[in-house]
Amino acid sequence: MAITKAQLFNKRQIRAAEFAKAIAHPARIAILQILATSNACYCGDITEELPLAQSTVSQHLKALKSAGIIKGEIEGVRTCYCFDEENLAEFKTVMEAMIKEFSIPNPTCC
């Protein structure tokens, strides 16, 4: 983009956007669902359940980890991915706060 003005928004807005961006792709939602509902937690197992290449899944996992939604525990040659419960709580708080905020009916307009 021509100019980046993200720094002109507040931290809450930036964090919420970050979380939203993390789940702004069907593949990442699918990965999170796999983590939540199946017992797959290795990149390889997750890749098997998805129509994507291993490198692509690894990339998506990295994105989820960067946002803090998941964490990766190295287990020898592989990495076990699972939800980062602490940050997941923050995710919930941020998202629910936003949902709540948007639900305030504005009486002055429309």
Residue with Cβ nearer DNA (15 or 78): 78
By CB under 7 A, the count of residues binding DNA is 33
Distances, alpha carbon 6 to alpha carbons 11, 51, 58, in Å:
10, 34, 27
- Is 74 near a second copy (CB under 8 A)? no
Sole window of 30-38, 69-77, 85-93, 94-102 interacting with DNA (rule: CB under 7 A): 69-77
Q: Considering CB distances under 5 to 8 angstroms, the limit depending on partner class, which of DNA, a second copy, none binds residue 93?
A: none
**Joined tokens for residue 91:** 């995710």
If 0-12 CB within 10 Å is exposed, 13-18 middle and 19+ buried, where does residue 71 land?
Answer: middle
- Does 90 interact with a second copy (rule: CB under 8 A)? no
